Structure 1
């Protein structure tokens, strides 16, 4: 009976470690039913490896990047969360310093921890923290607010665009959410960026904006991201022979990019296709004009088809 219980406790500990990237806290092991003597026995046998006070790896001492993040959060207490640059790195829209892992706690944390930058934040709310990949972490919105004051305009715009591309945030929803953080450092920078007419959508956001405009102009659903004439196209209507490209670049196009755009447009024209290109500025702020251009182009295509059919049917 004792042996069965022992194996059950060990199995539970292993399962916990698997979910937490090979890391467990002493308090968690005790909560599972292990005694302090059991924990010490596993340490002496090399089944647990101490990496910080009350924090262990299970089975082997090496840690992955996510294991290190987990260990840092666990070492800071039960309500701690990965935050700032480390959270941005976990979410995939920012780079992390190699010197520190950043963790936020909503309570005083007097003990200094090697390699961990602890942010003491009494105002950190439960709704600002989620569990991603088994790690408590600040939400994408909270993370962008925390990071905004540190980043220059270009890096901040890149982070927002990447978060949008990963479908973690929507730029307009992010702008609305900033009202939840009055007086928070970083809000002003984000609000200025999102309200700025120079802010550029990612390709995914442009697609979401453009497709309703095209539908309102009477076009059906296009093929997207298709290889055509040696180039990947944004939108293609094969029944109309119409290609539409949208400029989703975050920054000004380089001469090399402009030259490639011309070659792409020329290849489509040489293949007998109608070819339109809209900027993100037009799609975001001039949708009526975009829709009008689409309607006029479709009408011209259809008139050309009618003339072609009439010519073939003549004497």
Structure 2
């Protein structure tokens, strides 16, 4: 391969977290035989079907999600937990691979949760660090199906504080996409309207304090633990994964309407069906009582 061609490939790979697609290589006038020879020579390293890493170009923490996006067609975007992570949400653990594909593309990608959507219009799309990503408002909309009624307002408020989106943009996304029966839509509509009306809740340190107390008591606690149930991903406030125990905040404020309660009730039923024990707590729950409840739950599960 001529040096000028390889320079063009590595330049593109450096902008795309070390990876390039077959379509991009062909757009650079590289015939299939040249691509195959470069792969055999170790210059192009297969990452996924039709996606290669350029040898010598350093990867980043976002290389896996970039490769997943390049593997999809005709239009694919990082979405759900992946998009929340890309937008640096402090409430979402890194590493989860979620993509949304527009249209009828139905291939499976190993280790990737693929979501199909007929709604992926211009307001729903963005490019962040060269990664095609759902827009902030669409990301909140997608996460509404899995976040608890305590966590969803925190996710939304974090995006609003950092000016990633406005409550009006979130509401517009809900109106455009959130039809009857779409999980989390009704509750998101309520809290978005509250923020349009001027409601600005402060930060809540409840979860941090509870997690600290449980860790001091000797439990292995994971905050914002992700659980896959079917094609949905739920985020548990404070989880003790070794025993499938979930400590969930059941405060009133984010459930000031029935939709908040209904949303959490559905989550609890699905998580219980997967073997999780839900321990509810409020801002008035004493940490000592919570520790005792967790200890008793663990004893019952041994």
CA–CA distance in structure 2, aligned partners of residues 34 and 135 of structure 1: 23
The yes-or-no answer on 1:95 pairing with 2:49 is no
Residue 150 of structure 2: SS of its match in structure 1? helix
Distance in 1 (alpha carbons) for counterparts of 2:18 and 2:137 = 28
Aligned-residue CA RMSD (Å):
3.0
Tell me the CA shift for residue 89 of structure 1: 0.7
Q: Answer with 21-30 or 55-64: which moved more.
A: 55-64
Are the counterparts in 2 of residues 129 and 138 from structure 1 also a CA contact under 8 Å? yes
Residue aligning to 1:201: 200
Give the aligned partner of residue 175 of structure 1.
171
Whether the 8 Å CA contact 1:73–1:80 is kept in 2: the answer is: yes
Contact 1:85–1:95 at 8 Å: present in 2 too?
yes
Q: Mapping of 1:147-226 within 5 angstroms?
A: 147-183=143-179, 184-196=182-194, 201=200
- In the alignment of these two chains, the number of paired residues is 206
List gaps (5 residues or longer) in structure 2. 210-302
Higher-Rg member (1/2): 1
| Native 8 Å contact 2:69 2:78 kept in 1 | yes
Q: 1:249 aligns with which of 189, 203, 217?
A: 203
Gaps of 5+ in 1: 203-247, 256-315
SS in 2 for 1:33: coil
Taking a change above 3 Å as real, the CA distance of residues 172 and 253 of structure 1, as seen in their structure-2 partners, is farther
Asked if 2 retains the 8 angstrom alpha-carbon contact of 1:88 and 1:96, the reply is: no
Deviation of residue 165 (structure 1)? Answer: 2.2
Q: Please give the per-residue CA displacement for 1:87-138, whole angstroms capped at 9, x wherever unaligned.
A: 111012241475x411111122332211011111122223311111101000
Tell me, yes or no, if the aligned pair for 2:137 and 2:165 is still in contact at 8 Å.
yes
User: 1:246-278 deviations in whole A, cap 9, x for unaligned?
Assistant: xx33467999xxxxxxxxxxxxxxxxxxxxxxx
Moved more, 55-64 or 14-23: 55-64
CA distance in 1, matches of 2:113, 2:208: 39
Q: Distance in 2 between matches of 1:172 and 1:127?
A: 12
Q: Which moved more, 1:148-157 or 1:88-97?
A: 88-97
Superposed CA deviations along residues 264-311 of structure 1, whole A, max 9, x for unmatched, are xxxxxxxxxxxxxxxxxxxxxxxxxxxxxxxxxxxxxxxxxxxxxxxx
Select 1:40's aligned residue among 36, 43, 57: 36
Question: TM-score, normalising length from structure 2?
Answer: 0.61
Instruction: Give the Cα separation in 1 of the matches to 2:30 and 2:93.
Output: 36
* Alpha-carbon spacing, 1:176–1:146, altered in 2? closer, same or farther (3 Å): same
1:51 counterpart (44, 47, 54) = 47
Question: Which deviates more, 126-135 or 170-179?
Answer: 170-179
TM-score of the two chains, using structure 1 as the length reference:
0.58
Contact 1:80 1:105 in 2 (8 A): yes
Structure 1 residues 115 and 15: CA distance shift in structure 2, 3 A: same
How does 1:1-315 map onto structure 2 within 5 Å? 6-60=2-56, 63-93=59-89, 94-96=91-93, 98=95, 100-183=96-179, 184-196=182-194, 201=200, 248-250=202-204
TM-fit CA distance, 1:61: 8.6
